[in-house]
Structure 1
Amino acid sequence: MTTVVVTEQPGARQMLIGSVQGHRDWDSGLFSCFSDCKSLLMTYFCLPCAICNISTRAGECMCMAWCVTGGLIALRARIRTLGGIQGSICNDCMAMSFCGMCGICQMQRELEAMGL
Structure 2
Amino acid sequence: MTTIVVTQQPVGRQMLIGSVQGHRDWTSGICSCFSDCKSFLLTYCCLPCAICNISTRAGECMCMPWFVPGGLLALRARIRTLGGIRGSICCDCMAMWCFPLCAICQMQRELESMGL
Same fold (TM > 0.5): yes
The answer to whether the aligner puts 1:32 opposite 2:32 as a matched pair is yes
**Structure 1 gap segments, 5+ residues each:** 1-8
Counterpart of 2:3 in structure 1 is none
Alignment of 1:68-107 (within 5 A): 68-107=68-107
**Structure 2 gap segments, 5+ residues each:** 1-8
The answer to whether the aligner puts 1:63 opposite 2:99 as a matched pair is no
- CA-based RMSD: 1.4
Alignment of 1:12-31 (within 5 A): 12-31=12-31
Structure 1 runs, 4 residues or longer, greater than 4 Å off: none
Distance in 1 between residues matched to 2:61 and 2:10, nearest whole Å: 36
Distance in 2 between residues matched to 1:11 and 1:60, nearest whole Å: 31
Which residue type is aligned with residue 10 of structure 1?
P
Distance in 2 between residues matched to 1:97 and 1:69, nearest whole Å: 14
TM score, norm. by length of structure 2: 0.90
TM score, norm. by length of structure 1: 0.90
Distance in 1 between residues matched to 2:89 and 2:54, nearest whole Å: 18
